Amino acid sequence: MNFTPLGKRVLVKRVEEANTTSSGIIIPDNAKEKPSRGEVVAVSSEVTEVKNGDTVLFGKYSGNEVSFDGTLYMVLDIDDIFGIIA
């Protein structure tokens, strides 16, 4: 995949959440919410706040989903990213 975001945008691959609760209850796929964190995989030249490999937290209804080679990604404006998870 060769994708470079334009403007102040980044490409993020969602990080899957655990499928069990802390008490061991298994959460079925249809009851899970889409994760609101992910790993930055591409950054436009205008973005200096995050870099490739950063794990970020973003808004639940932010960005646009795109698919490359069967993998779902999010294209996010930098303003939709709340912060970097250390």
Q: What is the pLDDT of residues 26-52, one digit of tens each?
A: 666 554 556 688 999 999 999 999 999
Per the domain annotation, does 54 fall within a domain? Answer: yes
Q: Who's near 28: CB < 8 A, 6+ residues apart?
A: none
Kindly indicate the confidence band of residue 17, based on its pLDDT and cuts at 50, 70 and 90: low
Q: Kindly state whether residue 11 falls inside one of the protein's structural domains.
A: no
Whole-Å CA distances, 54 to 12, 48, 50, 79: 9, 12, 7, 16
Give the HSE-up count for residue 78: Cα atoms under 13 Å, Cβ half-sphere.
15
The predicted pLDDT at position 35 comes to 60
CATH code at position 80: 2.30.33.40
Structural domains counted in the chain? 1
For residue 79, what are the domain limits? 34-86
**Nearest-angstrom CA–CA distance, 7 and 10:** 9
